[in-house]
Amino acid sequence: MKHTITASVIVGVCIVLAGLSVCRGLHDISAKDRAVSVKGLATREVKADYAVWPLSFTISGNNLKGLYAREAELAKSLGEQLQAKGFTQEDIRHGKISVSDNWENYYGQRPLNQYTLTSSVVVSTANVDLVVANQDCVNEFASEGVIIHSYDWQLDYQFNGLTEIKPEMIQEATKNARVVAQKFADDAECSLGSIRHANQGQFSIESDQYQPWMKHIRVVTTIDYYLR
């Protein structure tokens, strides 16, 4: 009988200890799972460092060989006018030529001119200021009665320096995220722990609505911090 009571006491103590161990383990798990997820924002406004500016024109006629010859003259004249504006010869290249046969498919009266040729001269330069200064002066480039077209949707202002500013922006976004997390921890009357998980986020570059050569860059980081 005495041995039975002793055994029961030992078993009971073991159960109590096991229960305390499980309880403590659950508390540790619960404390470990306490976390806050916050976002940090960093923005920059930068100027484009490269521009691609297509200038196009269209001519029509019935002599295809003559059209190509005239296109070459117009492209040369346009290139010379651009150089007179300050662009270098290296900035200027001949664009793509396309030809359509207006007599191939038509309805009603046959068109007066059989062929329509469209060509372009493309300015590709790091001299962004020069492009900005001349983008609204296309009417000055008219040559031999041919209208030169410059479409806003084709004018491409680019920013290629993202790699250089990425580390600084990520650091700023991370710092801003920690400020938010610390405020949350203070309000919750607990301590801010280490990072549990971090997502750098994607960088976005958007052109200004009114000054497309100005770029708005932003990145949003998402960081989970442990709370103690």
| pTM of the shown model | 0.77
Q: Does residue 17 register a pLDDT over 50?
A: no
Answer for the pair 225, 195: CB distance below 8 angstroms, yes or no. Answer: yes
**pLDDT(26) > 90:** no
Q: Which residue has the higher pLDDT, 43 or 19?
A: 43
Counting other chains too, the contacts that 75-84 makes at CB distance below 8 Å and 24 or more residues apart are 75/119, 75/121, 77/143, 77/144, 78/121, 78/141, 78/143, 78/148, 79/121, 81/140, 81/141, 81/143, 82/55, 82/121, 82/123, 82/141
